[in-house]
Amino acid sequence: MKLFLDTGEIREVEKAAGWGILDGVTTNPTLIAKSGRGFQETVLDIGELLPGGAISAEVVATEYDTMLAEAEEIASWHEQIVVKVPMIRDGVLLVKTLSDRGIRTNVTLVFTVSQALLAAKAGATFISNFVGRVDDISGDGMAAVAETVEMVEKYGFDSEVLVASVRHPQHVVDAIRAGAHIATMPFEVMDKLFNHPLTDSGLQRFIDDFREAGLEIRAKAKV
């Protein structure tokens, strides 16, 4: 599974990129607005921190011609950029246009397998199934993820299923179980993936026992 960070904060990207397991970053208009910085500068700074990583940057227009102009502008910023497009009628047509031109797309605000089918048929590179916002209204957001993975595999679409709107590590576990290709998540959630109390206590016991036996590893000084 690929792991993406869902953020507009440079410092969070820097930290997560330092773990060596980050495959990409997704932004959205709200996250960019929250960053307090410019859209293009933020996206390009993120790309600098994650060479080769997929960086999703979203159009904000909702009418095809303007969406296309925005998409062309965003895509021109850097080859790492994936143009993020909302799951609306003009958005599906835009994905078809961009896909035909070889421009990668991430269809966002997807909540059902039928919406995901439309995105896949248009040639979406990533299909962002939102789970947290469904759970937030007492629904089962992950159900549509499992259906979307099954649909993409059944019909042989190239689209990758990206689990978005992740609220906690259990969403990542469930995304793995559903066979999703990517999970994007806030920094706090990715940071929590490392944690387990038995890891902490087990490591401390290893260190204590080794030291108490008077043992050491004489690492050769680097010349």
- Give me the sign of the Cα torsion angle 63, 68, 73, 76: positive
Contact indicator for 109, 131 with CB cutoff of 8 Å: no
How many positions of this chain bind ligand G3P (CB under 6 A)? Answer: 10
Residue 105 touches ligand G3P, criterion: CB under 6 A: no
> Looking at 2, 15, 34, 84, which residue is catalytic?
84
13 versus 201: smaller Cβ distance to ligand G3P? 13
Burial string for 75-87 (b: 16+ CB within 10 Å, else e) reads bebeebbbbbbbb
Q: Which of 13, 28, 95, 172 binds ligand G3P (CB under 6 A)?
A: 28
108 versus 148: smaller Cβ distance to ligand G3P? 108
- Give me the sign of the Cα torsion angle 63, 69, 75, 78: negative
Residue 132 touches ligand G3P, criterion: CB under 6 A: yes
Question: What whole-number distance in Å separates Cα of residue 104 and Cα of residue 158?
Answer: 12
Residue 9 touches ligand G3P, criterion: CB under 6 A: no
Contact letters for ligand G3P, residues 150-169 (x by CB under 6 A): --------------xx----
Q: What is the 3-state secondary structure (H, E, C) of 56-76?
A: EEECCCCCHHHHHHHHHHHHH
* Span 85-104, contacts to ligand G3P by CB under 6 A: none
- 154 included as an active-site residue: no
- Supply the minimum distance, in Å, between the C-beta of residue 164 and ligand G3P: 4
Span from 89-97, 126-134, 148-156, 196-204 in contact with ligand G3P (CB under 6 A)? 126-134
Q: How many other β-carbons are positioned within 10 Å of the β-carbon of residue 118?
A: 18
What is the DSSP code (8-state) at residue 84? E
Span from 45-53, 62-70, 89-97, 128-136 in contact with ligand G3P (CB under 6 A)? 128-136
What dihedral angle (degrees, nearest 10) is formed by the CA atoms of 40, 41, 42, 43?
50
96 versus 133: smaller Cβ distance to ligand G3P? 133
Query: Which residue reads 């932004």 in tokens?
Result: 27
Q: Which of 50, 71, 184, 190 binds ligand G3P (CB under 6 A)?
A: 184
Q: Site residues (CB under 6 A) for ligand G3P?
A: 6, 26, 28, 108, 130, 132-133, 164-165, 184
Catalytic positions, please?
A: 84
